[in-house]
Every structure is written in C-alpha cells, then in structure tokens.
Amino acid sequence: MADFGGSDLDAFRTEARDWIEANFPKSLKGKGGMMMREERSEPTPDMDAWRKAMGEKGWGVPTWPTQYGGGGLTPAHGRIIQQELGRVGAYNPIGGMGVMMFGPTLLEYGTEAQKQQHIPPIVKGELQWCQGFSEPGAGSDLASLQTRAEDKGDHYIVNGQKIWTSGAQWAQWCFCLVRTDTTKKHEGISFVLFPMDVPGVEVRPIPLIAGNSPFCETFLTDVRVEKDQVVGPVNGGWTVAKRLLPHERSGLSGAGGGGGGRSLVKLAKEYVGSDESGRLADTDLRTRVIMNEIDGRAFQLTAMRAMAESKANSGPSAATSIMKNAGTRWMQDRAELTIELMGHQGLGWEGDDFTAEELGAVRSWLGGKATTIYGGSQEVQNNIISKRILGLPDPK
Amino acid sequence: MAVLNEEQTMLRDAAKSWVQEKSPVTAFRKMRDSGVELGYDANAWNEMAEMGWAGVIIPEEYGGSDFGYLSMGLILEETGRTLTASPLLASGLATASALVLGGSDAQKSEWLPKIAGGEVVGALAIDEGAHHAPEKVALKAEKSGSGYKLSGSKSFVLEGMAAGLLVVSARTSGAAGDTDGITLFLVAGDAKGVSRKRLHLADSRGAANITFDGVEVGEDAVLGEVGKGYALLEKTLDRARAGLCAEMLGSALQAFEITLDYLKVRVQFGQVIGSFQALQHRAAKMFTDLELARSAVEAALQAIDADTPDVPELVSLAKAKMGDVFHLVSNEMVQMHGGIGMTDAHDAGFYMKRARAAEAAFGNQGYHRDRYARIQGY
C-alpha cells in the first residue's frame, strides 16, 4: 500500500478526493480529451505540474508495484481513483504505449535490472515508448518480419525497416521485434529495447487519408542494441509479443466510445429533423441509426457482462474475444452514419464553412478505418475466434 | 452467461439434464409427426410442472418459488435448445405475469396456484391481425347486467388450443388503435361462446384463432382497471418478450453448435469444410453476434427482476437483436449443411421455422426497433 493506512474503500475515496482537489490544476478541467489527440502541442506548466504530481504519487498506474514507483493498489482502489478524477473533470496524465502495453509486459518478462531501469520513468510519465512490430512485408502475418539482429558478441547490430510505429517521432525508446534466427519463423524472433536517439534510427511520419497522423516509418541502419536489453529469452520474443497484443486489443476495442461527441440521435435530429410525431424524418436513416444504437448498447452490455464474468471466474470471459470486432464495427458504422446525416456539410476538409464538429466527423470517419486494420485486423480476429474459441482446423 | 447464484445454477443444471434426457429434438419431431392438437406433449409438460418450472415467477404464497425472471429465462434457454414445445412461456410466464402484476387477491388465489401446478394452462389472447399490435383492439366488451359481454376474435393465440384461462384484451371505450379504453379480462377457456380453431403454422407449435361470441363474464373478471388495461398489458408483454428471447437464445445457440460440429466433420475437396476461411469467418461473426445478443437478453431479464424503469427499452433491444441473430444463425444452419439441411429428416429446418415464428411473436425486429427509438424520443 502507498502512503495511507487502512484498506477501507470509503476512506480511500475520501483520501483520493482530497488529494486530487489539492493537486489537480483547475485550468486543466475537462481537457483530458486533448491528451488523446493525435497531434501534439507543447505541455503547459500546469500540465507538467499535474503529470509530475500523479507520477510521484504512482496513481497513474495504481496497480503497479510500489518498488518501481507504482501505486501498489488493488483494482478496486484504481477504479475509485478513476471515478474521482472523472468527478472533477480531471484526467490521468500518465499514459501512452509504455503504460498500456510495454509496462505490463516488462513487469511480467523483464529482468530485475530492466524493470528498475524502465518502469519508473513510465510511471512518472517522463518518457514515451513506441512499438516496432509491423514491417512493410509483415502486417497481419507479423511473424514473417525480416528486420535482422546480428550477434556481435557483446551486442547486436540491427538492420531493417519498421512501419506504423505510432508516436515514433516523439518517443525516446522503442520496444521492437527483430529476427535473431533466420532458420525458424516464430522461434527466431527476439524482443529488444533501444533508445530512439542512437545512431542509425531514422523516423519519417506518414500522412494518412485523415491527414496528419502519429504513424511513422522507422528505418534501422546498423543500430546497436545492448545484450542486456533483450526481454525474455533470445528467440523467445514471439511469446512475449503475444502476451502484449491482448493489452493492445483491449485498449483498442471501443475506448473511444463513439468519438465522445454528441449522440448520433441528437445530430440526426438537428441535421435531418423530425416529423410531427417526433420521429426522425428520414425513415431509412432512422432505421439505420436505431440499429447502430442497438449495436452500441449491446456492445456496452457485453463489456459489462465480460467484466462481471471475469471477476466471478477470476479469468477472462469468452466474450472478450469478440470485443475488438464488435466495438470497431459499431464505431465505424457510427462514423459513416454521422457524415451521411450531415450531408455535404459532413464532407468538409478544412475552412470556416464547416463547424469544428463537422470537420472532426470527417477526420474521425477516415481515421477510424484504421481500427479494423491495426492491432490484429478484423480478419485476424475472426481467425483467432475460429481457431481458439470455436476449434475450427487450419486448411491443409 | 450472467453470474448466477446457487439456486439459479441448480435450476439451470436441472433444466439442462432434463431437456437432454427427456426432451431432445427427436421428442419435438415425434410431437410434430403425431399431429397432436395441443401442439405439445402433455406428459412432458406434466413433468416440467412437477419440477416446479411453471411457478418460477409466482410468489410462494400462491404456490410458486418466486425465483424471478432470470431464473425462468435459464429454463427457457435450455428448453429452447431442443425446441421443446410447452406452455411454459404462455402460461407460467406470460399469464402468470399478468396475474401477479394486475390481479386482485381473489383472482390470484383462484388462478395462480393452478398455473404454478400446471393444472391450468393460461394464454394471452391479444392480437387480432397478422402483425403484433397490442393497441389495435376491436374486440368489444359491453356492459351487460352486473358484468360484461365480450364479442370479437383474437388471432395467433400461443397455446390457444390448451388454454383453460385466457387473458383477453377488450375495448370498453374508444376505437381500435387507442391505448385508452382497453380493458383486460380473465375468461375461462370453457366459457359459453368461446370457440377455437387450430392454426397449423410452420413451427408446429400450439396456436389458435379464438372467437368470442357474446361471452358473459362478471365484474370480477376484470384484470386491473377498466379502460386502463394497456399499461398492464405492456408490462405483461415485456415479460413475455424477454422470456421468449431467452428461449430464442437457447435455440440459436444450439443451431450454431450443431452447425459448428458439422463444419468439423463434413469433408469436401479432401478436407473438412470448417478449414475454409470463408466459412470460418461466418462462424466467427455468428459467435460474435450471439455473445452480443446474450448480453441484451440477460440485461432485459435482470432489469425485470430489479424492476428498473428501463425494462421496456431493454426488452425491445433484446427482441430486436435476438431476432436478427436467430434469423441469421438459422439461415446459416441450412446453408452450411448444404443439401442435407434441406431435408425434413434433418433438424435444421425445425430451427429455421421456429426462428421465424418466434421473430413474429410479440413483435418482430421492425416493431421493436421502432419501439426502442420511440421510447427514447426519436
């Protein structure tokens, strides 16, 4: 436990409330959404102060162990912090790939020295990580990756090209999959770490259909990787990566909650109007809005059910496997409906002829197309359900 | 699957083993082939009643166990798996709900113990046309002496052939389509002037058209308030719909599992057809949709047990989603089985026929999508 006595949740709630009250800068109220934006701006002094306060407290990662700076709390305590942050319009400033994916994996597979080196800066939000997994020739078939790591005795020399390394232009470190054995596929891959400012690392941002993006190409030319920066066994990186991917998928399955903007129904009423009985005037659109609303509600009910089940059975529920496809399908459908109901106003690219909401809808619609491609495409998810849950065989 | 308490787990397990031993799909096939007028096997129904299933939502003081709607849903899910035909939904759930929600002490004392024991089968006589429309009531109830005289007809009454007690929606004022002026009556199945005609539907279940030819009932036959029966009817129907959804969930799951088993054994082009990605992805989509539907169905049943205000919207959510999913799965069952799925000897056709009848009952997907939106003001 951190710096409070007793495990009583009510007492903890009071403590959390008081601490947030005392430390959260009022100027940042309701600004949490900005943290999720794809484009970065320089942090203000208040943002820095808030990140430092949460980082010191360890509450950005409440369940991580205290010896590396984490909160050392139970998930129930973590939920209370989340609720209390939300109550006053505060946000958790500690995030990114280090928190969502790399940290939990390193805590499980890392050596003590690796944990001591890498976890505290993640907990404090001091540095950002990026993920070097996909390659131009290794997308859904990730294990066919070709980036080579040559054994040079006390270190490796890495050559290759990574793509979709999101946030690489801002990251200080990279966790990366490289090939240490060319004679095997899955068993020839290692999971390595290197700083982004070592010689031979070149990053180029990739503009996407939605405009600027956090995605990059990362070229690796004779990059030196130290041997103590291999996570898990040499040639055992696939196992580590597989463990990490569910963290990625659960983070991608619907966290956006439909864009967080106004409800589809409200927008539809405004843009297409209602008839005298209060129904949306466009009956065809109305039906499709209803179906999307129903799908969204069923998805949320499933998320709640999966949570209740995994709590009761102390293991993941089968319902978890459907979350990414169901969530992304719903959100993409919603984004399509949003621009459709806006008509031509829902196709504005830039300029003051369009509201911020309209311009945002266009970018979300386009940007959202990535959600069924990354983190295991829709098709890969269906393969996983077919094979692991339904037990259907591989083709001969 | 929702997190169950101990009694719910026992009830579910008991239902599972009884259904597997005593009421497999072959029993349904036998019932259909026999052409029995009731549309179900009376012996099987007696066994179900003996296990107390007809009294699951009935309070203990009236001979039930008061386990609630999620518990009833668990039984219906299991009976749905093998398409078990029985009056459990129409009588033990729908009619019992109408009485529990709207009955006087005298009405409850008279009917609930008999329904709980399975001695009387109850049925809802609500619709008057081919589409579910509970406000379109033309059947007239006119004041007559100290009671009422009922004239008109009801269509597609589920378990109408077996019913010893009918819950009848009648018009005491206004015109068909008004929600005001509807009154619910309890009418004994053997009352003078009640006549019924069996309907042979594709799903082989018990259904009837019922005519009321000047049927005389007393004041004490009014269920709830005169002229204000619509609210009680809607509450009753929501419970029936949620129960039907649970049955549909069981049927759809079984249809899916049978299909999945077939994909693992049927060999074409030198390999099992379940190794083809075109079929694997369709199976994965069905699994995804079934998980979503289960969440909606269980949420509706839990809301009824907790008596929360969102029961109507959750029920319409469940019926719309479950209808779509059962529709899809039953079609895929036939398609993925190929020629054998087209034969009467195979069960696939049973599931597809049942899907369409269950979709239409108490409002199809279109009805409930519209209702879901209306409740939320669009």
pLDDT single digits (tens) B243-258: 999 999 999 999 999 9
Across the A:B interface, residue pairs with CB atoms under 8 Å apart total: 124
Give the pLDDT band (50/70/90) at residue A254.
very low
Of A326, A387, A393, the CB nearest to B272: A393
Q: What percent of chain A shows pLDDT beyond 90?
A: 70
> In terms of Cα–Cα distance, which of B112, B120, B127, B141 is closest to B190?
B120
The answer to whether A278 contacts chain B (CB < 8 Å) is yes
SS3 per-residue string spanning chain A: CCCCCCCCHHHHHHHHHHHHHHHCCHHHCCCHHHHHCCCCCCCCHHHHHHHHHHHHHCCCCCCCCHHHCCCCCCHHHHHHHHHHHHHCCCCCCCCCHHHHHHHHHHHHHCCHHHHHHHHHHHHCCCCCEEEECCECCECCCHHHCCCEEEECCCEEEEEEEEECCCCCCCCCEEEEEEECCCCCCHHHEEEEEEECCCCCEEEEECCECCECCCCEEEEEEEEEEEHHHEECCCCCHHHHHHHHHHHHHHHHCCCCCCCCCCCHHHHHHHHHCECCCCCECCHHHHHHHHHHHHHHHHHHHHHHHHHHHHHHHCCCCHHHHHHHHHHHHHHHHHHHHHHHHHHHHHHCCCCCCCCHHHHHHHHHHHHHHHHHCCCCCHHHHHHHHHHHHCCCCCCC
Give the pLDDT band (50/70/90) at residue A33.
low
> In terms of Cα–Cα distance, which of B192, B314, B143 is closest to B241?
B314
Q: Which residue among the candidates A15, A84, A135, A248 is catalytic per the annotation?
A: A248
Residue A40's pLDDT is what?
Answer: 59
User: How high does pLDDT run on average in chain A?
Assistant: 89
Which chain A positions have a beta carbon within 8 Å of B294's beta carbon?
A: 302, 305, 319
Nearest CA in chain A to B259: A390
Give the pLDDT band (50/70/90) at residue A250.
low
Does A358 qualify as catalytic in the annotation?
Answer: no
A334 or A321, which is more confident: A334
| Contact state of A392 with B280 under an 8 Å Cβ cutoff | yes
Instruction: Report all structural domains of chain B as residue ranges with CATH numbers, in order of start.
Output: 6-120 (1.10.540.10), 124-227 (2.40.110.10), 230-375 (1.20.140.10)
Give the pLDDT band (50/70/90) at residue A3.
very low
- Cα torsion angle, A169, A170, A173, A178, sign: negative
> In terms of Cα–Cα distance, which of B312, B377, B70 is closest to A277?
B377
The answer to whether B267 contacts chain A (CB < 8 Å) is no
Assigned CATH for A253-389: 1.20.140.10
Q: What is the pTM of this model?
A: 0.84
Of B281, B321, B373, the CB nearest to A298: B321
- Phi and psi at A125, nearest 5°, equal 70, 25
The answer to whether A355 contacts chain B (CB < 8 Å) is no
| Contact state of A322 with B296 under an 8 Å Cβ cutoff | no
Assigned CATH for A129-237: 2.40.110.10
CA distance A393 to chain B (A): 5
Per-residue pLDDT tens for B57-102? Answer: 999 999 999 999 999 999 999 999 999 999 999 999 999 999 999 9
Greatest Cα-to-Cα distance within chain A, rounded to the nearest angstrom: 79
The answer to whether B109 contacts chain A (CB < 8 Å) is no
Instruction: Tell me if A129-237 shares its fold with A253-389.
Output: no
Residue A29's pLDDT is what?
Answer: 83
Which chain A positions have a beta carbon within 8 Å of B275's beta carbon?
A: 392-396
CA distance B307 to chain A (A): 18
CA distance B69 to chain A (A): 18
Render each residue's pLDDT in chain B as its tens digit; 378 residues. 888 999 999 999 999 999 999 999 999 999 999 999 999 999 999 999 999 999 999 999 999 999 999 999 999 999 999 999 999 999 999 999 999 999 999 999 999 999 999 999 999 999 999 999 999 999 999 999 999 999 999 999 999 999 999 999 999 999 999 999 999 999 999 999 999 999 999 999 999 999 999 999 999 999 999 999 999 999 999 999 999 999 999 999 999 999 999 999 999 999 999 999 999 999 999 999 999 999 999 999 999 999 999 999 999 999 999 999 999 999 999 999 999 999 999 999 999 999 999 999 999 999 999 999 999 999
Domain residue limits, chain A: 9-94, 129-237, 253-389
Q: B90 - beta bridge partners? A: none
Give the pLDDT band (50/70/90) at residue A95.
confident
Contact A170, A135 (CB under 8 A): no
| Contact state of B287 with A392 under an 8 Å Cβ cutoff | no
Give the pLDDT band (50/70/90) at residue A161.
very high
Residue A100's pLDDT is what?
Answer: 87
pLDDT score of A38 more than 50: no
CA distances for B16 relative to A21, A94, A238, A313, B237, angstroms: 54, 49, 42, 21, 26
Residue A35's pLDDT is what?
Answer: 47
| Contact state of A395 with B298 under an 8 Å Cβ cutoff | no
Residue A28's pLDDT is what?
Answer: 87
Per-residue pLDDT tens for A191-218? Answer: 999 999 999 999 999 999 988 788 899 9
Q: B184 - beta bridge partners? A: B169, B223
The answer to whether A297 contacts chain B (CB < 8 Å) is yes
Residue A9's pLDDT is what?
Answer: 86
Which chain A positions have a beta carbon within 8 Å of B373's beta carbon?
A: 279-280, 286, 289-290, 293
Of A274, A278, A294, the CB nearest to B372: A294
Distance CA A217, CA A151 (A): 25
In the numeric block, which tokens belong to residue B261? 């088993």
Q: What percent of chain A shows pLDDT beyond 70?
A: 91
| Contact state of A326 with B2 under an 8 Å Cβ cutoff | no
Q: Which residues, numbered 203 to 262 in chain A, qualify as contacts with chain B under a Cβ-Cβ cut-off of 8 Å?
A: none
